[in-house]
Amino acid sequence: MKLKLIEKGKEHIVVEVSEPDDTLIQPFVHQLLKLDEVEEVKYHREHPQIDLPVITVKVKKGKPQNALKKAAKALSKQYRDALEGMKI
């Protein structure tokens, strides 16, 4: 999953998701929503076969790009911990 910056403001950021995979995007959006600094997260796609999905993040405090990084790191840790737990 790669993110391409579409728009950035002081309290929001809009990124397009290339190589979208809902098995990663949905947990990522869920992780963003868990952050205290995040006010709102929108995930949408104008046309399912033509357009790439877009994630919009609005924050109450801090930089929106930091919220993206924090959510990605937390999700990465969860997957790493799950992988470690599966080792026999």
pLDDT digits (tens, 9 = 90+) for 65-87: 999 999 999 999 988 888 888 87
pLDDT of residue 81: 86
Retrieve residue 45's tokens: 């796609």
**88 pLDDT tier (thresholds 50, 70, 90):** low
pTM (2 decimals)? 0.85
Residue (of 40, 52, 31) closest to 13 by Cα position = 40
Does 1 score more than 90 pLDDT? no
pLDDT digits (tens, 9 = 90+) for 8-57: 999 999 999 988 777 888 999 999 999 999 999 999 988 888 889 999 99
DSSP three-state, residue 47 = coil
* Tokens representing residue 15 in the block: 């990124």
| Sequence ranges of the domains in the chain | 2-86
Edge-to-edge strand ranges of the sheet holding 2-8: 2-8, 12-18, 54-59, 38-44
The phi and psi torsions of 24 (rounded to 5 degrees) equal -105, -35
Q: 2-86 — its CATH code?
A: 3.30.1360.10
> What was the pLDDT predicted at 53?
92
